[in-house]
Amino acid sequence: MIATRPWSFAMSLISVSVGNLLAAETGPIHWGWFALVCVGIVCFHATANIFNDYFDTRYKVDQPDSPTARYRPQPL
């Protein structure tokens, strides 16, 4: 679960929210689509983080003394 780095999801959700607020100037907000996009962006972000950890581990990019090892002590 830590490989998904859930603490970083706020960044994606804020970006979607800002986009939604900007789009609201042109018409009504469709809350169902907004919720679907929020779920989608979190799933996409989690998947990207997992792939990043997987390939960094596979190709030995992350070493035990890498800075990321402090907050992600175990590789995939």
The answer as to whether 3 is a domain residue is no
- Residue 40, CA distances (Å) to 16, 28, 33, 35, 68 in order: 10, 21, 10, 9, 26
Residues 6+ apart with CB under 8 A from 72: 2, 3, 5, 53
The answer as to whether 42 is a domain residue is yes
The answer as to whether 13 is a domain residue is yes
Q: Distance between CA 42 and CA 11 in Å, rounded?
A: 10
Which residues span the domain enclosing 42?
Answer: 8-70
pLDDT in tens, 22-76: 999 999 999 999 999 999 999 999 999 999 988 988 898 877 777 766 666 655 5
> Based on the structure, what is the number of domains in the chain?
1
Label residue 16 by pLDDT band (50, 70, 90).
Answer: very high
Structure tokens at 22: 């900007």
What pLDDT is recorded for position 56? 85
pTM across the whole model: 0.82
Residues 6+ apart with CB under 8 A from 5: 46, 49, 72
